[in-house]
Amino acid sequence: REQKNQGHHSSLTRIPSVSSCRYIISTMRVPSNAIACLLLLTGSASAFVPSNKFTSTSKTSLNEAPISGSKGTGEGWLSKPAAPVNTEESLKQTLDETLKGATFQKRLSLLGSTGSIGTQTLDIVDACPDNFVVDALSAGNNAKLMAEQVLKYKPKVASLATPEAAAELKKLLVDAGCDTMPEIVHGEEGILEAATVSSADTVVTGIVGAAGLRPTIEAIKLKKDIALANKETLISGGPVINPLVEEYGINMLPADSEHSAIFQCLQGMPPGGLRRVILTASGGAFRDFSKDELFRMCQEDPRTIQAKATTHPNWDMGAKITLDSATMMNKGLEVIEAHYLFGASYDDIDIVVHPQSIVHSMVEMQDTSCIAQLGWPDMRLPLVYSVSWPHRLKLPYKPLDLAELSTLTFKRADNEKYPCIGLAYEAGRAGGTMTAVLNAANEMANEKFREDVGLGFLDIPKLIEGAMEDHKADLKTSDVTLDDILNCDAWAREQVEAKVSKIQSGAQVFA
């Protein structure tokens, strides 16, 4: 633009030379020390001026945004990721929301309120009562804890899994003299009612497994933002969910630690700036075992393996996800979720084992610079960002102290030790309904292992691989519908359950 200084016109559309800088300074009243600084900076600025090789005939334009991915082709990347990142529209939206200020109030529908995600979300509500109101609660069969939550947060809707649990809840509330009785519902329809309560603007999906898929879809159709703590929503339903997110213009906000970390790192990222996603993994219960040690113990001491597989060294999580961490299927599922959330191709999503669980994930830029998000292993940190994005709320949590930690270590994930990682990548690259089969087969194998029906730890990936192999003939990769996903989900569970029954009967199932 043109700027006037005492009648002289100086064009500032490009970096000025040192001589022109002296001329400009001579027409201005500038302190001598500032002049010296300016000349020094201007003299070194030539390093940042494009060289003559960038001409009008060059293949690279200075004004063109880079194409996402390490190959620079965008191959395998999604142009419309589920999370509000990596597009011009999302960048503008983030800025607009940020400038509104942090004096907001959100009304929440909390699915899975008595579980780990639910109770920690309510901790956040307690810490920030001016910012959050709870309009609906949904849970399993824990009527006693649900009654305590209803009395404290006064939701409009409370849903439990069975009519018996719902009846118990009603009795507990009456006995407690509840003066604001919610609508008490149950079953699948009850979850849907909680997810779609009209006054809520954000739905926190803390339900484990594919059960969270339909409520999430119905909430999206009502233009409610989703704080996504349920991995399976995108892993099974990505081909259906992503188009709905775009159609209804809602925000899909990750609430688990790794994807929240990536999401936080991508704030302010220009379109095309992302080169690679790096997911960190604790390594689970067997991270300190070599592959040979783990496989030998599976043969010689399966009871010890079973006990250890259901205990996590760092995180306080539910039983299903703790076992998924031990098999590293948890990380494989996160790879698929990262693809749908952030648009990255499977070739540009890596896994690194980080036992301390302090670096929650990283992103690599086109210039190979990496940005990481760090924090204590506390699920409330990603949860609060999912319900407050893009704002930062002041919370009474322990600050991170790197000196206290002293050491952070990283190592490559061992795909031979953890075959579930390779199965997840294979399912993701196959696309379509294959990820729904992977997820459902894993859920059933995980459940049967925890039920102690005679299933070995290494049988889990074998059962999943078998279901995927059997599905190849029926794989659907285009025009996938919700019915397709639900049918594949049910089929895969039946396949795994049938094979587990054969194992219990002593039949030879695996070659």
pLDDT in tens, 408-466: 999 999 999 999 999 999 999 999 999 999 999 999 999 999 998 889 999 999 999 99
Q: How far apart are CA 204 and CA 271, in angstroms?
A: 28
On the question of pLDDT at 61 being above 50, the answer is no
Mean pLDDT of the 359-388 span: 96
How does pLDDT run across 279-300, given as a tens digit for each residue? 999 998 899 999 999 999 999 9
> Residue 194: its pLDDT value, please?
98
More confident residue, 57 or 99: 99
The total of other beta-carbon atoms located within 10 Å of residue 273's CB is 17
Mean pLDDT of the 379-394 span: 96
Written as six digits, the tokens of 199 are 């006054």
How does pLDDT run across 354-365, given as a tens digit for each residue? 999 999 999 999
> Residue 74: its pLDDT value, please?
82
pLDDT band at 214 (very low <50, low <70, confident <90, very high): very high
> Residue 310: its pLDDT value, please?
82
Q: Residue 360 — φ and ψ, nearest 5°?
A: -85, -20
pLDDT band at 508 (very low <50, low <70, confident <90, very high): confident
| C-alpha distances out from residue 487 to 125, 188, 189, 192, 265, Å | 37, 17, 19, 20, 37
> Residue 229: its pLDDT value, please?
93
> Residue 316: its pLDDT value, please?
61
How does pLDDT run across 152-165, given as a tens digit for each residue? 999 999 999 999 99
pTM of the model: 0.84
Q: How far apart are CA 353 and CA 280, in angstroms?
A: 6
How does pLDDT run across 293-347, given as a tens digit for each residue? 999 999 999 988 888 888 777 666 678 888 999 999 999 999 999 999 999 999 9
What single letter denotes the amino acid at residue 409? T
How does pLDDT run across 237-281, given as a tens digit for each residue? 999 999 999 999 999 999 999 999 999 999 999 999 999 999 999
The residue among 338, 353, 343 whose CA lies nearest residue 260 is 338
pLDDT band at 40 (very low <50, low <70, confident <90, very high): very low
pLDDT band at 71 (very low <50, low <70, confident <90, very high): confident
> Residue 388: its pLDDT value, please?
96
> Residue 4: its pLDDT value, please?
38
Residue % of the chain over a pLDDT of 90: 74
- Strand pairing of 274-281 and 359-365? antiparallel
> Residue 199: its pLDDT value, please?
97
How does pLDDT run across 3-37, given as a tens digit for each residue? 434 444 333 334 444 344 433 334 444 444 443 33
How does pLDDT run across 126-136, given as a tens digit for each residue? 999 999 999 99
- Measured in whole angstroms, the distance separating CA 282 from the mean position of its chain's CA atoms is 16
> Residue 65: its pLDDT value, please?
58
Residue 254: strand pairing partners: 228
How does pLDDT run across 451-494, given as a tens digit for each residue? 988 899 999 999 999 999 999 999 999 999 999 999 999 999 99
Using DSSP, state whether 353 is helix, strand or coil: strand
Range name among 49-58, 77-86, 101-110, 173-182 with the lowest pLDDT average = 49-58
> Residue 32: its pLDDT value, please?
44
> Residue 181: its pLDDT value, please?
96
Whats the size of the chain, residue-wise? 511
Contact 470, 495 (CB under 8 A): yes
Burial of 373 (0-12, 13-18, 19+ CB in 10 A): buried
Q: How far apart are CA 7 and CA 117, in angstroms?
A: 66
Written as six digits, the tokens of 124 are 């956040």
More confident residue, 50 or 176: 176
Question: According to the 3-state scheme, what is the secondary structure of 264-299?
Answer: HHCCCCCCCCEEEEEEEECCHHHCCCCHHHHHHHHH
More confident residue, 401 or 28: 401
- Measured in whole angstroms, the distance separating CA 239 from the mean position of its chain's CA atoms is 16
